[in-house]
Each structure stands twice: as structure tokens, then as C-alpha cells.
Chains A and B, each alone.
Chain A
Amino acid sequence: MEQTVLDTQAAADRLERVLSRHGVGTVQNLRRLTGGATKTTWSFEWVSGGVTEALILQQMPAATAPARRVPKLSAREDAALMHVARAGGVPAPVVRVVLSEADGLGEGYVTEAVPGETLGKRVVNDEAFAGARASMAQQCGQILAAIHRLPLQGLQFLQTLSPAQELDVYAELLRDCAVRHPALSFALRWVREHLPADWTPALVHADFRTGNLIVDPEGVRCVLDWEIARIGDPMQDLGVLCMRSWRFGGAGEVGGFGDREDLYAAYETASGQPVDRARVRFWEAFSNLKWAIACARRGSAIRSDGRPASVELCAVGRRMEEPLWDFFQLIQEAA
């Protein structure tokens, strides 16, 4: 969880050296943006040859051992996936440079900035996005169908996770952080007893939700945060998008902005595949358990000297009961 904190001027100097490999220019207005508990996002302007471009720098924390248990793409893999996604008609970021170790900026990449809003509360509430909200459930269904049919050639680094393997991974993550909680134990057993038998493997984004989408008044402009993508059950993505944790108080069951039936109908039309409603609900419940375990892990994260990792991660720990509460609501609706 720890990461190198560079002062802004030092980061700007290093960034300027990286980008100048492709033409001399200057970095201006480098600003650390809010949000992102596990990676650092900066915005800046690149001025080169009299042209000013808005770009984004993302720095990931150094990989933590043991690697590969949870799917977590390196910056290079993440960039390769976003390239394939764009080629397949998915609005993913355009990567300009993948950082190398010699750049002194940690692991990460520079992408073109996409104008629009990511903050969940604004996306689901602001009047400016009222028109966008009316069509976003449909758009999300179309985008998810496009993600799920992306070709997997060249993406051998993607891990395949069956629902049972995914449960094993999260049960182990919970054991690692030594949080013992009756509701977590109950939920792990419930998921184990309700694992789907039939599922067709596809590329799954796994974090496709409000907050990870750039939205403008026309609708979804860009899908961010591809680093936990894997090959799995595509119904997972529909379940995550419907979690109440990512509705930010908005009314629609889809992301706080739309109706389930609009999402499902658009997905079915675009993919030619039926949406298994019960399996989406299963994934919504399971995803709530996963988020609860992630909260437990973040809330117990420490620095090397034993102090809490950050106030932000501590605060996320105290959100653990929110998805667990929703988990019990969901399994009772399903019963």
C-alpha cells in the first residue's frame, strides 16, 4: 500500500524527460487529483510544438507479494488490454507512454485526458447529466457486450477465474488480514453453496461501475480502471454495475442512474446472448462480499512501521458493513 510520494516539481521534471523522447515540450499545471485509494492520478498539460494537450499520469504502487493471486495487471499489461479494448470499439483510454523503471516515476502510464465527470455523486445527481442518465443503462449494456466479445489473442497474461476459484481467492485474502466477522463467514458459506454451475468464459472488466466511468452530458465517454480484468463469467460485470455501493445515493438500480431492464435488454440485443437474471443477482451478492473483504483489508492495512496505512484506507474499513447489509437484502430477495 505504500508508494513513493514525489514532490510535484520533481514529478513534473521526470515526466517532461519521459515525454520529450517523442518530441521536446514542457509539462504544465501538474496536479494530483482526488480519489483513488490504491493509485495516484495526476492531470497535466503537455505543450509541444505550439500545441497544448491535456494528459493524465497514473502511478500504481509497486507490486506486492505474493503476486498473481488476485488478478492485478501490470501497467504494461493494462495498457495492452486498453489498446485491444479500443480496437474492439470499447471507449477505453488512449495510452501515450508506458513508464519504465528508468523514468523514476514508478509503474504507470500516461493517457490522453477525456473531458467529463467521474465523481459518482455528480454523475447520479447533477442536472447537467440528466440527459446522460436517461441513456446510460442502455449504453452500459452495449459497452459490456462489446467488452465480453473482445478477442483474447495477445492477452495471454489475463488470469482465468472460475466462480469457485474467485471465492477461494477472496477467502484466502480474508484469512490473510485476520479479520473474523460472523457476517463474512456466513456470506462465504452462502456463496460456496450457490456457485453457478454453467458459465461461458469471456473477458470481464470486473470493476465496471459508476465512479470508473467518465461521463459527459451525452453519456459514457470512457471506461477506466482495467487493472483487475480477468477471464470469467460475464454476468459478473452486470452484477457489479448494479451494486448499491456504487449508486452513490442515486435512484436507479443500475449504477444509480438506470433501470435493470434497460441494461439487460440492451445487453441482450448487442450480444445476442440472454441475460441470466438469477446469475446477475448471485454476482451482485458475491460482489458485495468481495467489496466487504476489500474493506476489511484496507481497514487493516499498515505501513512498515506499524502505523495505519492512511486515514482514507482506515475510513474505507468502516464501510465494510454497507455491502454486508446489502448482501443479506439480496439473498432474502432471491429466496
Chain B
Amino acid sequence: MTVFVPSMARLVQAAADHLEHELLPTLEGYHRYQTRVCVNVLRIVQRQAEQGAVLEAAEWARLSELLQSCEALPALNDVLVGQLDDGSLPLDAPGLVPHLQATLGEALAINNPIWTRQP
């Protein structure tokens, strides 16, 4: 892929910074709230651009171990959902709950990093 300058993360960061620091202070009520939501959404995109690939690699490594398969991540997740839905995988299968919790923690690192740190 070509070199993008700025990177996706920096591009989104610039847009989010503008909305947050320049537009938001001029707004109130409904539009202030909706713009706050837009800023939060862009921060999620920024973190996913920065960390998404590394977190997906960690998820794939755990899942391929759990399912003893080297297929791509979407296919592995599809197999796991199928085995949970049809009951063929016990809920206390070794490594299952730790994997699910780790994956949720990784998604939260992108979507809302403070969630796993608060009591």
C-alpha cells in the first residue's frame, strides 16, 4: 500500500481535535451533545487505526490455540460462535473464558479504555 501522509490515525485525530477544541465550545444543547458524540466516535476510529492490527493478532493467536486451527480470524470466530450456539463446546472448556475476557478487554482498549480500569 502507498504511504499516506498523514496516516489514518493522524488524519482522524486532526478532525477530532478541531471538533473538540474549536467547534464544541461554540455549541450548546442538542448540537453540543451530538458533536461530543462525534468526537468520541472519531477517537474510537483513531485508536482502532493505531492498535487494531496488534490486538487482532493477539486474538488470533489465542483462538487458533483454543480451536487448534490456523484459519483466518473471522472464520475462527464463526466456528467458535457455532460451537457455543450448538452446545458442542462446554462453557468451562479450558481457556474459553480467559479468551473471551481478553478479547473484550482488547475491544475496550479501542472503544472505551477506562472501562477495564474502573472498579
Instruction: Select which of A32, A244, A314, A325 is within 8 A of B108 by beta carbon.
Output: A325
Say what secondary structure dominates the interface of chain B.
helix
Instruction: Judge whether A325 and B38 touch: CB under 8 Å.
Output: no
- Mark out the residues of chain A between 21 and 65 whose CB falls within 8 Å of any chain B CB in the assembled complex: 31-35
Instruction: Judge whether A325 and B116 touch: CB under 8 Å.
Output: yes
Instruction: Judge whether B111 and A32 touch: CB under 8 Å.
Output: no
Known: A33-B29, A182-B100, A325-B101. 16 other contacts (CB 8 A): A33-B30, A34-B32, A34-B33, A181-B77, A182-B84, A182-B103, A183-B103, A186-B97, A189-B84, A189-B87, A189-B91, A311-B37, A315-B41, A321-B104, A322-B111, A325-B115
Find chain A residues with CB under 8 A from B100 CB.
182-183, 186, 328
28 pairs of residues in contact across A and B, judged by CB atoms under 8 Å = A31-B29, A34-B29, A35-B33, A180-B77, A181-B81, A182-B100, A183-B103, A183-B104, A185-B81, A186-B84, A186-B96, A186-B100, A189-B84, A189-B87, A193-B91, A251-B119, A312-B34, A315-B44, A318-B112, A319-B112, A321-B115, A322-B111, A322-B115, A325-B101, A325-B104, A325-B116, A328-B100, A332-B97
Find chain B residues with CB under 8 A from A319 CB.
111-112
A326, chain B: closest CB distance, angstroms:
9
With known contacts A31-B29, A312-B34, A322-B108, A249–B118 Cβ distance under 8 A: yes
Q: Which residues of B pack against A, CB within 8 Å?
A: 29-30, 32-34, 37-38, 40-41, 44, 77-78, 80-81, 84-85, 87, 91, 96-97, 100-101, 103-105, 107-108, 111-112, 115-116, 118-119
**A157 close to B (CB within 8 Å):** no
**A199 close to B (CB within 8 Å):** no
Say what secondary structure dominates the interface of chain A.
helix
Give the A-B pair count, Cβ closer than 8 A: 81
In the complex, A35→B85 CA distance in Å?
35
Instruction: Judge whether A325 and B105 touch: CB under 8 Å.
Output: yes
In the complex, A133→B30 CA distance in Å?
28
In the complex, A315→B108 CA distance in Å?
13
Instruction: Judge whether A324 and B84 touch: CB under 8 Å.
Output: no
Q: Mark A309-335, 1 if CB is under 8 A from B, else 0.
A: 001101100110110110010001000
- Mark out the residues of chain A between 298 and 318 whose CB falls within 8 Å of any chain B CB in the assembled complex: 311-312, 314-315, 318
Find chain A residues with CB under 8 A from B33 CB.
34-35
Instruction: Judge whether B91 and A318 touch: CB under 8 Å.
Output: no
Find chain B residues with CB under 8 A from A318 CB.
41, 44, 111-112
How many interface residues does A have (CB within 8 Å)? 29
In the complex, A189→B96 CA distance in Å?
14
B95, chain A: closest CB distance, angstroms:
12
Instruction: Judge whether A328 and B97 touch: CB under 8 Å.
Output: yes
In the complex, A244→B116 CA distance in Å?
12
Query: Closest 4 CB pairs between A and B?
Result: A185-B84, A34-B33, A321-B107, A318-B111
In the complex, A186→B77 CA distance in Å?
12
A316, chain B: closest CB distance, angstroms:
9
